[in-house]
Chain A
Amino acid sequence: MKRYYQPEIETASREQIREWQNERLVRQVHHVWDSVPYYRAKMEAAGVCPEDIKSIDDLHLLPFITKDDLREAYPYGLMGKPLRDCVRIQSTSGTTGKRVVAFYTQKDIDLWEDCCARAIVAAGGSEEDVCHVSYGYGLFTGGPGLNGGSHKVGCLTLPMSSGNTERQLQFLTDLGSTIICCTPSYAAYLAESIHERGLRDKIKLKAGIFGAEAWSENMRRDIEEKLGIKAYDIYGLTEISGPGVSFECEEQTGMHINEDHFIAEIIDPNTGKVLPEGEKGELVFTCLTKEAFPLLRYRTRDICVLSSKNCSCGRTFVKMTKPMGRSDDMLIVKGVNVFPSQIETVLIAQGYPANYQIVVDRQNNSDSLEVMVEMTPENFSDSLVKITEMEKALVAELKAMLGIYAKVKLVAPKTITRSEGKAVRVIDRRKI
Chain B
Amino acid sequence: MNVNQISVFLENRTGQLAEITHLLADNGIDLRAISVAETADYGILRLIADDAERAASILLANGNILTMTPVMVVGVSDEPSSLSRLLSIIAEGEIGIEYMYSLFTNRNGKAYMVFRVSEEERLCALLEQNGIMPVDKAELGLK
Contact = CB atoms under 8 A, between A and B. Distances in A.
A388 B39 contact: yes
A384 B65 contact: no
A415 interface: yes
Given A384-B37, A388-B39, A409-B41, A377 B67 contact: yes
A149 to B, nearest CB: 44
A410 B38 CA distance: 12
Interface residues of A, number: 18
B74 to A, nearest CB: 18
A382 interface: yes
B118 to A, nearest CB: 11
A381 B21 CA distance: 20
Given A380-B9, A410-B42, A385 B98 contact: yes
B11 A381 contact: no
Nearest to A372: B41
A249 B136 CA distance: 81
A387 interface: yes
Given A375-B65, A380-B66, A388-B39, A411 B5 contact: no
Chain B contact-residue range equals 20 to 34
Give chain B's interface secondary structure class.
strand
Contacts of A380: 7, 9, 65-67
Interface string A173-202: 000000000000000000000000000000
B5 A382 contact: yes
Given A380-B67, A382-B44, A382-B69, A415 B9 contact: no
B80 interface: no
A218 interface: no
Contacts of A382: 5, 7, 44, 46, 67, 69, 116
B39 A375 contact: no
B131 interface: no
A385 B13 CA distance: 21
B63 interface: yes
A47 interface: no
Interface in A376-417: 376-377, 380-385, 387-388, 409-415
Interface in B48-76: 63-67, 69
Contact of B98 (A375, A383, A414): A383
A387 B44 contact: yes
Given A377-B67, A382-B67, A412 B98 contact: no
Interface string B2-13: 000101011101
Contacts of B69: 382
Contacts of B42: 375, 387, 410-411
A384 B9 contact: no
A349 B10 CA distance: 24
A220 to B, nearest CB: 36
A411 B11 contact: yes
Interface in A347-395: 375-377, 380-385, 387-388
B67 A384 contact: no
A313 B98 CA distance: 70
Contacts of A376: 65
Contacts of B5: 382
Contacts of A377: 65-67
Interface in A136-152: none
Contact of B39 (A383, A384, A411, A412): A384
Contacts of B98: 383, 385
A381 B43 CA distance: 11
A63 B66 CA distance: 54
Contact of B11 (A383, A385, A387, A412): A412
A223 B39 CA distance: 38
Contacts of B39: 384, 388
Contacts of A375: 9, 42, 65
A409 B39 CA distance: 11
Contact of A384 (B11, B16, B44, B63): B44
A412 B9 contact: yes
Nearest to A411: B11
A383 B71 CA distance: 12
Contacts of A409: 41
A414 B5 CA distance: 24
Contacts of B13: 412
A376 B67 CA distance: 11
Interface of B: 5, 7, 9-11, 13, 16, 37, 39, 41-42, 44, 46, 63-67, 69, 98-99, 116
5 contacts: A377-B67, A380-B67, A382-B5, A384-B39, A412-B10
Given A382-B5, A384-B44, 11 more contacts: A380-B7, A380-B65, A380-B67, A382-B69, A383-B98, A385-B98, A387-B42, A409-B41, A410-B42, A412-B11, A413-B63
| In the complex, the 9 A-B pairs of residues with the closest C-beta atoms, listed nearest first | A382-B7, A412-B11, A382-B69, A384-B37, A380-B65, A375-B9, A410-B42, A375-B65, A409-B41
